[in-house]
């Protein structure tokens, strides 16, 4: 089995214990240790204590990559534990510990990602049912809290759900559970399932049952309740476990019908695996199947107890491996990838800002402009110029795009069309690639930039659209739409006419220049001539292109197509969509009569009679119906 270049640190952080391990190769865990959180001031102190305790072999490679599964929702850079007082910045912690990579995920997200990697010996089935493959899998487990997650099959992999499903409202099923709820209400405003199906929940149930029976029982912690029930046969403790397992069965059934978990429900956490055979004969499975009209549905779903000790480590390792693979294949977020591609176009000063962002993206996300400029060794205006060179309005807009990339977005994929594809496969791929490209452009849209472009168009004395080659149809489409508004405009697609048209522009006019690459000298000459005459220039083009840098307002459309080998298809559609955005924006800012101009004209009577060909369910009187009708 291949070994890693350097050992990887894995951690499983709960409200009581912090577990650590080194992974030296796929699935090879060594030097495992469990530290009490209460013995360490913060997360950094716990990690340092573990690292200092390691028995390093002579000449061992230091840790470069680490993954932390933590009992807490993880959103953005700042992590604040719900069931403990630790909090930290992910990027700051990465730097303090000297790691190249630090991935922090919810502990149940990590456990969910481990499920497809568990062997038969790592789980124990409780009750009947047969898993369907591939299908959605549900996961929940009790420890300091109640974790809830799930896995959705996606192609050859899985998507893990990061949820806080343990905090849904608890619903009692009988008088005993109603009495427990009333007891909990004495001290809690909101009683969730986590308040009862957890270590603290065992203790609450025990106290509630003692009060219900009028018994003066000692206050016991969860481990003592379990030990007295299983080893000593204590009646109150046994009833506590009975209630606990029944509630867990109901929660598991709720999760199964919510997710449609035909692939099975898995039970993890620190409590259930320790109950051993008692759990198998507990009310858990009976309550799981007690779902009224859906009894047959849930009865066919199997339930499993996770018995593997290192399951969370396996899931954290899988997430880390996937992260490293993505960084190698397509480094960073969309904006980080854009910066890497643009390095050759940047000035030396802008390049220093780029290097800082690529090396410390989370620090840049949190730092003020003065600190960013100081760290990069440039002036504050240089930082702003760098942001604008990427199609951003300024530093705030740049940070929004950077944050979106760092916190995770829906992946945008492109599927290669092959010669042996069927017509159905070909159609699905072309549509899928177009949809993916549209989603990517949507992530680059900037509200302020669109607003500025629309303002310029609305106030223009005249609008001229310029494009060449395959993008000429985009300029002609734009001319058609804006003429319907009664706005003076023209479309120029011949290089000789373009310069003549630009030479008669004047102050108050707007030139809209449409170019996929933004490097054609003919169009760059048009921009220079238009600005020389006092006109404003709106560019629809790629980021980092010469055209993007010259224009007064730039609408970014980044999509790579090799026009040397095939006609531009997706990129032309993207440019047409940007024209549609501008047209609809102008229509919305004008009077109702001008909005109606999207549909008025030679086919006015057809539109009014409802035979315009609008999509089913779309009113033929709406701007959307008219726009889509005339776009065809």
Taking each helix axis as running N to C, give the angle between helix 423-444 and helix 570-589, from 0 to 180 degrees, rounded to the nearest 10.
50
Instruction: Please check if 14 is assigned to a binding site.
Output: yes
Rounded to an integer, what distance in angstroms lies between the CA atom of residue 47 and that of residue 5? 21
Is 276 in a helix, a strand, or coil? coil
Phi, psi dihedral angles at 23 (to 5 degrees):
-110, 115
Instruction: Please check if 455 is assigned to a binding site.
Output: no
Rounded to an integer, what distance in angstroms lies between the CA atom of residue 143 and that of residue 83? 11
Q: Which two tokens stand for residue 441?
A: 């452009």
* 486 backbone φψ class: left, alpha, beta (φ>0; ψ -120 to 50): left
In the DSSP assignment, the letter for residue 192 is: B
Q: What is the DSSP string of 480-503?
A: HHHHHTT--EEEE-SHHHHHHHHT
Q: Which two tokens stand for residue 560?
A: 């790579």
Q: Which two tokens stand for residue 609?
A: 């009679």
Instruction: Please check if 597 is assigned to a binding site.
Output: no
Q: How far is CA 371 from the centre of its chain?
A: 28
**Measured between alpha carbons, how far is residue 305 from residues 237, 271, 377 in Å?**
22, 11, 56
Antiparallel, parallel or unpaired: β 87-89 and 137-142:
unpaired
Rounded to an integer, what distance in angstroms lies between the CA atom of residue 568 and that of residue 101? 38
User: Which residue reads 């779309």 in tokens?
Assistant: 618
Instruction: Please check if 155 is assigned to a binding site.
Output: no
Q: Which two tokens stand for residue 28?
A: 């090879």
Instruction: Please check if 11 is assigned to a binding site.
Output: yes
Instruction: Please check if 13 is assigned to a binding site.
Output: yes
Question: Residue 520: CB partners within 8 Å, gap ≥ 6?
Answer: 468
Question: Residue 529: CB partners within 8 Å, gap ≥ 6?
Answer: 499, 502, 503, 505
Q: What is the DSSP string of 502-566?
A: HTT--TT-EEEEE-SSS--HHHHHHHHHHHHTT-EEEEEE-TTSHHHHHSSEEEE------TTTS
Binding residues for ATP: 11-16
Binding residues: 11-16
């Amino acid at each position: 089995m291949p070994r890693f270049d350097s050992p990887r640190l894995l951690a499983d952080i709960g409200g009581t214990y912090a577990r650590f391990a080194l992974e030296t190769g796929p699935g090879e865990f060594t030097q495992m240790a469990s530290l009490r959180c209460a013995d360490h001031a913060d997360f950094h102190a716990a990690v340092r204590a573990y690292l200092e305790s390691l028995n390093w072999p002579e000449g061992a490679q230091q840790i470069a990559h680490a993954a932390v599964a933590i009992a807490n929702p993880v959103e953005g850079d700042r992590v604040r534990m719900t069931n403990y007082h630790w909090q930290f910045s992910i990027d700051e912690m990465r730097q303090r510990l000297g790691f190249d990579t630090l991935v922090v995920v919810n502990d149940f997200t990590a456990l969910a990602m481990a499920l497809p990697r568990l062997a038969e010996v790592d789980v124990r089935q409780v009750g009947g049912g047969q898993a369907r493959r591939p299908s959605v899998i549900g996961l929940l487990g009790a420890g300091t809290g109640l974790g809830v997650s799930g896995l959705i099959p996606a192609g050859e992999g899985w998507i893990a759900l990061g949820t806080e499903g343990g905090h849904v409202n608890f619903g009692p099923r009988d008088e005993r559970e109603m009495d427990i709820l009333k007891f909990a209400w004495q001290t809690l405003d909101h009683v969730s399932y986590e308040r009862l199906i957890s270590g603290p929940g065992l203790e609450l149930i025990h106290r509630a049952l003692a009060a219900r029976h009028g018994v003066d029982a000692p206050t016991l912690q969860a481990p003592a309740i379990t030990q007295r029930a299983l080893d000593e046969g204590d009646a109150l403790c046994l009833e506590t476990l009975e209630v606990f397992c029944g509630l867990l069965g109901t929660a598991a059934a709720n999760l199964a019908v919510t997710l449609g978990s035909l692939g099975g429900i898995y039970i993890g956490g620190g409590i259930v695996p320790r109950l051993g055979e008692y759990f198998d004969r507990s009310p858990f499975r009976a309550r799981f199947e007690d779902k009224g009209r859906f009894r047959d549905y849930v009865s066919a779903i199997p339930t499993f107890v996770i018995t593997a000790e290192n399951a969370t480590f396996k899931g954290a390792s899988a997430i880390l491996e996937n992260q490293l693979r993505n960084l190698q294949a397509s480094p960073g977020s969309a904006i980080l990838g854009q910066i890497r591609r643009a390095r050759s176009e940047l000035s030396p000063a802008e390049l220093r800002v780029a290097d800082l962002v690529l090396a410390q993206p989370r620090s840049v996300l949190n730092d003020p402009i003065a600190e960013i400029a100081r760290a990069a060794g440039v002036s504050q205006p240089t930082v702003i110029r760098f942001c604008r060179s990427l199609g951003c309005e300024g530093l705030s807009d740049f940070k929004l795009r950077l944050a979106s990339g760092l916190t995770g977005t829906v992946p945008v994929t492109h599927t290669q069309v092959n010669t042996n594809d069927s017509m159905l496969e070909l159609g699905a791929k072309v549509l899928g690639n177009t949809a993916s490209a549209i989603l990517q452009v949507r992530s680059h849209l900037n509200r302020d930039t669109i607003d500025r472009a629309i303002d310029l168009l609305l106030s223009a004395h005249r609008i001229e659209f310029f494009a060449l080659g395959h993008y000429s149809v985009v300029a002609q489409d734009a001319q058609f739409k804006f003429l319907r508004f009664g706005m003076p405009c023209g479309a120029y697609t011949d290089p000789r006419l373009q310069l003549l048209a630009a030479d008669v522009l004047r102050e108050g006019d707007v030139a809209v220049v449409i170019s996929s690459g933004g490097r054609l000298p003919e169009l760059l000459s048009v921009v220079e001539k238009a600005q020389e005459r006092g006109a404003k220039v709106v560019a629809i083009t790629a980021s980092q292109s010469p055209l993007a840098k010259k224009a007064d307002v730039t609408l970014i459309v980044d999509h790579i197509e090799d026009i040397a080998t095939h006609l531009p298809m997706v990129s032309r559609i993207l440019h047409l969509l940007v024209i549609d955005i501008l047209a609809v924006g102008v229509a919305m800012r004008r009077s109702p009569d001008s909005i109606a101009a999207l549909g008025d004209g030679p086919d006015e009577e057809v539109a009014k009679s409802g035979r315009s060909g609008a999509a089913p369910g779309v009113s033929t009187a709406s701007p959307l119906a008219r726009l889509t009708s005339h776009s065809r």
